[in-house]
């Protein structure tokens, strides 16, 4: 398992932070999947007040602040919906300004942001300290932008990471012994957290869950400009079972995991429903 001299690339220094904030504020009982992203739109408008925001400037500010992407078309949908709810007021030229009623719903989001800002710094500090202590010869691989490597690892290994977040599934989780380079360093760090630092490991898993929740909005590079009303998504059962770790027989160790599997299937249904709301 030698560490080869290669480097992973990632997107957004604050992606882990934004994902954790999203996970902490996500309400699965919300009327709409997209309603969970309204607070981020309101937060950006509150920050720029009294200036106005458009769907493209708000979308860009969300990317810069939270590290994940809400496509411009979706931001426009959310702004119009917030205007109908009288939380923002529409101005000429497709611009919007936050109302006082819109600020009231930002308390929980702002509290999460304050909490996770310090936890984000703590996570990055522990990651760099771990690599420097145990893999000092490869420290240069991650020193320039450690956050991007953590994010890239989540993007590539979200499902096995989620399995590690379920207590009774950790024994059958992937060991990542085949990983190389910066990816190996991150994998080793995650295993270290799992074994020795439950609090930081929990924050990291929250970021994983948030990244999965936000991933439904990322349909590819660039802004989402075309309607999706004719989009058809086919989820093949064997592929889903394999991704969830239930392919093949039904061992005794899996019998207690019915609820997580059903919960993930339910969330997938909500994601599909969100596609229709973009039109």
What domains sit in the chain, N to C, each tagged with a CATH number? 17-108 (1.10.10.10), 112-215 (no CATH), 237-277 (no CATH)
pLDDT in the model for residue 4: 40
Enter the pTM of the model.
0.64
pLDDT in the model for residue 6: 37
pLDDT in the model for residue 155: 86
What's the start-to-end Cα distance of the chain, in Å?
A: 48
Q: Which residue has the tokens 């999460």?
A: 112
pLDDT in the model for residue 178: 84
pLDDT in the model for residue 12: 40
Decide if 77 contacts 33 (C-beta within 8 A): no
pLDDT in the model for residue 118: 83
Q: CA angle, corner 249, sides to 248 and 254, nearest 5?
A: 110
Tally of CB atoms within 10 A around 180: 14
pLDDT in the model for residue 272: 52
- Would strands 88-90 and 96-98 be described as parallel, antiparallel, or unpaired? antiparallel
Q: Which residue has the tokens 């145990």?
A: 134
Distance from C-alpha of 21 to C-alpha of 23, rounded to nearest angstrom: 5
Written as tens digits, the pLDDT of the chain (279 aa) is 334 433 333 334 456 777 778 887 888 788 878 888 999 999 999 999 999 999 999 999 988 888 778 888 889 999 999 999 999 999 988 999 999 999 987 877 777 777 778 888 899 999 999 999 999 999 999 999 998 899 889 888 888 888 888 765 555 556 777 889 999 999 999 999 999 999 999 989 988 888 888 876 765 433 444 445 666 777 777 767 766 666 554 444 444 444 444 455 545 555 555 555 554
CA torsion 38-105-107-224 (nearest 10°) is 10
pLDDT in the model for residue 224: 42
pLDDT in the model for residue 245: 60
pLDDT in the model for residue 187: 94
pLDDT in the model for residue 211: 83
CA-to-CA dists, residue 99 to 43, 68, 102, angstroms: 12, 25, 5
Q: Which residues of 212-221 are buried (b: 16+ CB within 10 A; e: fewer)?
A: bbbbbbebee
């Amino acid at each position: 398992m030698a560490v080869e001299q290669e480097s992973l690339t990632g997107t957004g220094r604050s992606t882990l932070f934004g994902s954790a904030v999203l996970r902490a504020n996500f309400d699965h009982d919300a009327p709409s999947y997209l309603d969970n992203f309204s607070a981020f739109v309101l937060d950006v408008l509150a920050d720029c007040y009294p200036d106005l925001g458009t769907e493209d400037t708000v979308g860009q500010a969300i990317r810069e602040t939270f590290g994940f992407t809400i496509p411009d078309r979706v931001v426009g949908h959310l702004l119009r919906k917030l205007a109908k709810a009288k939380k923002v007021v529409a101005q000429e030229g497709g611009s919007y300004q936050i109302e006082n009623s819109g600020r009231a719903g930002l308390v929980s989001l702002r509290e999460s942001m304050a909490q996770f800002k310090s936890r984000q710094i703590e996570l990055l500090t522990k990651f760099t300290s771990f690599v420097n202590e145990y893999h000092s010869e490869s420290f240069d691989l991650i020193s320039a932008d450690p956050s991007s490597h953590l994010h890239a690892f989540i993007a590539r290994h979200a499902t096995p990471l989620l399995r590690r977040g379920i207590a009774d599934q950790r024994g059958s989780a992937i060991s990542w012994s085949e990983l190389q380079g910066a990816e190996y360093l991150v994998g080793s760090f995650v295993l270290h957290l799992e074994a020795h630092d439950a609090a930081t490991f929990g924050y990291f898993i929250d970021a994983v869950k948030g990244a999965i929740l936000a991933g439904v909005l990322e349909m590819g590079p660039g802004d989402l400009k075309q309607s999706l009303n004719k989009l058809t998504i086919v989820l093949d059962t064997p592929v889903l079972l394999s991704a969830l770790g239930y392919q093949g027989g039904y061992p005794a160790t899996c019998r207690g995991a019915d609820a997580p599997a059903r919960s993930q299937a339910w969330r997938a249904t909500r994601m599909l429903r969100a596609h229709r709301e973009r039109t």
